Structure 1
Amino acid sequence: MTDHEQNRFTARAARYARVGANVGGVAARMAGTRFFGGDGDAANAAALTKALGGLKGPLMKVAQLLSTIPDAIPQEYAAELAKLQNEAPPMGAAFVRRRMAAELGLDWQNRFGSFDFKPAAAASLGQVHRAVSQAGTPLACKLQYPDMASAVEADLSQLEVLLAIQRRMSPAIDAREAIKEIGARLREELDYRREAKHAALYGLMLDDVDQVRVPKVDSELSTDRLLTMEWLDGRKLLTFKDEPLEVRNRIAVAMFKAWWVPFSHYGVIHGDPHLGNYTVRSEGDDEVAGINLLDYGCIRIFPPKFVAGVVDLYEGLRSNDQARIVHAYETWGFKNLSQPLIDTLNIWAGFIYGPILDDRVRTVANGVEPGQYGRKEAFQVHQALKQHGGITVPREFVFMDRAAVGLGAVFLHLKAELNFYAQFNEAIGGFDQRVLADKQAAALKEVGLTQ
């Protein structure tokens, strides 16, 4: 075993020990109380949340993603995990110096006009620092924490232990494929050179959308674990939640376009619509010129036929065409669909598609708090699946669903009132799978990405 391999093995073993001690004890409690199959135990949910919250790294991020997939985990857990805000205590200046030297060399500071050692933001996989280029351009430097690759593998393994308990005790939702998908996206998220290509892809896809700004990457100051982009000034989205409706609606339209234009024209979605990934930008006297899209780690590129499935389900629901609805589910990868299972999936589809099927100005959901968006429907789905048999969630469905729920929660935060039907049909109008396939292939080739 080489020194490098030994270091990686040691890091991974240490992570297993830390995570295993925290999660293993909670898992034992769950198994002992049959939590996953019982009426729920808020104390166990709180204990797991505490264990995850004390760990910097991907397990916390995975837990948050799982908490948004309908009933992949029990409601008590989802409520507790939703409290994790993807924040972690920042690393100090000495740590930052070592990490920057490892990425750019010992003379790294000479390559910047200035560099702020106090992080502007700290999250589960890394932290962001403000800097200025030698030419005077404001920059955002996202620096990955050390040993994250080892942490990802260790954490995903521990999570499988928890989900194995769930499958035995409450088999209505089989999340094994979901975990494979989350694992694949997390591994991609560790590759900052890939994220730089994602940013370039979004710059291309949204070039004609004035309401959305994409930062440019400084490739000379970026590596596999350091991503340097231009700093885009803006205010946090939630600071606008009490602004006049017209202002909030303008932000909501920009959010809708940032998500649906890439998906409907190129088959690409931003899979993590976390509030911290957006800021609202001003321009001249215009206080709301649009939004800045800041993070490109969690991007999902879909086969064109998956996008066609989204359109088929929409049209099937709109015209009550059962054959087209079933075809859409099968296109996505759902298998062994009996009529009761189709009816159960339609509960969730009716919720997700409801706003874009309703040709009028409306909120995305009336009387629902952002953190509870989709919870009632998820409970109905779970009850029906317990009665009619379990189902395996296809991989490609995971981030589509995650993004739709997250985007809906943003609209609830903004209390936006839009004609979502009109917005959707403007984005998807004239959909042609072959045209999308050609546009997607050309765009991926241009930025150096493969599907």
Structure 2
Amino acid sequence: MRRVAGARETEPAARQQRAGRVGNNDQVTDIPRRAVSRTAKLAALPLGFAGRTVLGMGKRVTGLASDVISAEIQQRTAEQLFSVLGQLKGGAMKFGQALSVFEAALPDEIAAPYRQALTKLQEAAPPLPAASVHKVLAEQLGPAWRDRFVSFDDSPAAAASIGQVHRAVWRLPDGTGRDAAVKIQYPGAGDALLADLKQLSRLGGMFRAIQPGLNIKPLLAELRERITEELDYELEAESQRAFAVAYADDPEIYVPAVFFASPRVLITEWIEGTPLADIIRAGSEEQRDEAGRLMATLHLSAPARAGLLHADPHPGNFRMLPDGRLGVIDFGAVARMPEGTPEPIGRIAGMALRGDAAEVVAGLRAEGFVSSDEPVDAHALLDFLRPMLEPIAADEFRFTRAWLRAEATRLASPRSPAYQFSRQLNLPPSYLLIHRVTLGSIGVLCQLEAKAPYRGILERWLPGFAPVS
């Protein structure tokens, strides 16, 4: 099977080293003396967060208990979650950002205390002091770094998992300026990221208990490789330039230009627009529907147009521009798909919609989702898949929190046949980022409660997907 979803085909050795480089001597790092406290904070999460709330949430979501933990405890735990993950940045911060997308899957009475705290992780984190920012800029742009700017705002405009963004005016060769976003990587981010990933990888045993059919070791290796790529801002600049070329003059999608890139500083065009989080919170139905349609169009068209997939679909990475286009930022996480989206995805989805049970099993087995020697009930597999394909079974579909909660309950409850069946399935590493983007995008579409002709978008952009007759 061809290598897809984040697997580079060939690259110069220097770039491969650059993509995996962490904790270099040129980085200012205080991680070693913080290692004990970082580990302690991570250890506190399963003790505090999981111990006090996840068990209760799991019982409530799956219908195994009628009691709901107190609102006060939920609120305290939500605040603790934001505080700990926000301080850790790195891999744990990314873990929190991923969680924030899926709050839509929880019942409202449980999700409410977490929604505000988790969605903060989409665009906010404790800032880096100005002196540290200046030191990084001097290292990456030279001692006269201020001459490269017409102006530079020391206060960060946004902060995330491994870096923060400052607003500035970048000086062009002719002396004029362009509004710019200056992304600066946290000192020691590489060491922090790997330390957090190592801690979080210890959850692998939990995943094996929940999903015995999942081969977790190669998945964790693939995840580690893909996430450490995000430390390389020069690699991110290459990806953003490729997207910008692919969507140049596009009437629906806008990708800002890249002005400068070094290993730890990335300077791009600043774009004004309404954050998707604001559309989710207070947008009209028309605005939410259009945002959902544009997000689906981006994620399904990018592999064909750019040979890349934007692999970090949380609301902080999107803006609705004044002219109606979807502005896209942050290209640190991408899947490299030079041949486009794998054809089997569309072909198998089409067969499932048509009810071709045996062909679906054969297709999934060929791609590694089903063990080659594991007997599978083809009709049970079709029953398992069909509810997931509801958004493309009709000409239009409205994603809702209620739909996502129903699917989460169906898949998570040990009493559900779908839960038992899912334990037989595997996720091939080559499909990891495609799976991540699909789930993340669905989470955002359900937060938007967006209605759009999703099947038509698939018919246009997904190879192998044949219209249902």
TM-score tier by shorter-chain length is 0.7 to 0.9
Aligned to 1:253: 293
Query: Does the 8 Å contact 1:270/1:298 carry over to 2?
Result: yes
Aligned to 1:278: 318
Q: CA deviation at 1:343?
A: 6.3
Aligned to 2:14: none
Query: Does the 8 Å contact 2:96/2:118 carry over to 1?
Result: no
Q: CA deviation at 1:49?
A: 6.6
Aligned to 1:17: 36
Query: Does the 8 Å contact 1:218/1:230 carry over to 2?
Result: yes
Please tell me whether residue 297 in structure 1 is matched to residue 332 in structure 2: yes
Query: Does the 8 Å contact 1:206/1:261 carry over to 2?
Result: no
Please tell me whether residue 107 in structure 1 is matched to residue 149 in structure 2: no
Q: Out of 126, 130, 135, which is 2:167 matched to?
A: 130
Per-residue displacement from partner, 1:154-180 (whole Å, max 9, x unpaired)?
Answer: 111111223335535874655434322
Q: Out of 392, 402, 427, which is 1:356 matched to?
A: 392
Aligned in 2, Cα 1:348/1:301: closer, same or farther, shift over 3 Å?
farther
Aligned in 2, Cα 1:266/1:141: closer, same or farther, shift over 3 Å?
closer
Aligned to 1:423: 457
Distance 1:30 1:247 in 2: 35
Aligned in 2, Cα 1:329/1:380: closer, same or farther, shift over 3 Å?
farther
Q: Give the % identical residues.
A: 27
TM-score by length of 1: 0.77
Letter paired with 1:236? P
Query: Does the 8 Å contact 1:177/1:392 carry over to 2?
Result: no
Please tell me whether residue 61 in structure 1 is matched to residue 94 in structure 2: yes
Aligned to 2:446: 412
Query: Does the 8 Å contact 2:185/2:265 carry over to 1?
Result: yes
Letter paired with 2:432? V
Aligned in 2, Cα 1:182/1:381: closer, same or farther, shift over 3 Å?
farther
Distance 1:174 1:153 in 2: 21
Query: Does the 8 Å contact 1:264/1:431 carry over to 2?
Result: no
Q: CA deviation at 1:148?
A: 1.2
Q: Which has the higher contact order (CA 8 A, sep 6+)?
A: 2
Please tell me whether residue 399 in structure 1 is matched to residue 430 in structure 2: no
Q: Which moved more, 1:43-52 or 1:203-212?
A: 43-52
Letter paired with 1:350? R
Q: Out of 265, 272, 287, which is 1:233 matched to?
A: 272
Please tell me whether residue 181 in structure 1 is matched to residue 222 in structure 2: yes
Q: Look up the SS of the partner of 2:402 in the other structure.
A: coil
Query: Does the 8 Å contact 1:306/1:332 carry over to 2?
Result: no
Letter paired with 2:40? A
Distance 2:238 2:249 in 1: 19
Letter paired with 2:459? N
Counting matched residue pairs gives: 412
Distance 1:312 1:96 in 2: 49
Query: Does the 8 Å contact 1:172/1:390 carry over to 2?
Result: yes
Distance 2:351 2:34 in 1: 47
Q: CA deviation at 1:21?
A: 1.6
Distance 2:318 2:187 in 1: 26
Q: Out of 183, 186, 205, which is 1:164 matched to?
A: 205
Distance 1:402 1:306 in 2: 14
Q: CA deviation at 1:405?
A: 2.6
Distance 1:170 1:431 in 2: 29
Q: CA deviation at 1:105?
A: 1.3
Q: Which moved more, 1:112-121 or 1:422-431?
A: 422-431
Letter paired with 1:230? E
Aligned in 2, Cα 1:376/1:302: closer, same or farther, shift over 3 Å?
farther
Letter paired with 1:400? I
Aligned in 2, Cα 1:107/1:265: closer, same or farther, shift over 3 Å?
closer
Query: Does the 8 Å contact 1:31/1:165 carry over to 2?
Result: no
Tell me, which stretches of 5 or more residues in structure 2 are unaligned? 1-22, 61-68, 104-109
Q: Which moved more, 1:24-33 or 1:202-211?
A: 24-33
Q: Out of 308, 313, 320, which is 2:348 matched to?
A: 313
Query: Does the 8 Å contact 2:300/2:457 carry over to 1?
Result: no
Per-residue displacement from partner, 1:219-265 (whole Å, max 9, x unpaired)?
Answer: 3xx20110000111111224345555444433332222211111355
Distance 2:411 2:230 in 1: 28
Q: Which moved more, 1:138-147 or 1:196-205?
A: 196-205
Q: Look up the SS of the partner of 1:127 in the other structure.
A: strand
Query: Does the 8 Å contact 1:199/1:217 carry over to 2?
Result: yes
Distance 2:40 2:443 in 1: 34
Q: CA deviation at 1:336?
A: 1.5
Q: CA deviation at 1:317?
A: 1.2
Tell me, which stretches of 5 or more residues in structure 1 are unaligned? 71-75, 284-288, 433-451
TM-score by length of 2: 0.74
Aligned in 2, Cα 1:294/1:422: closer, same or farther, shift over 3 Å?
same
How well do the aligned residues superpose, as a CA RMSD in angstroms?
Answer: 4.0
Query: Does the 8 Å contact 1:250/1:290 carry over to 2?
Result: no
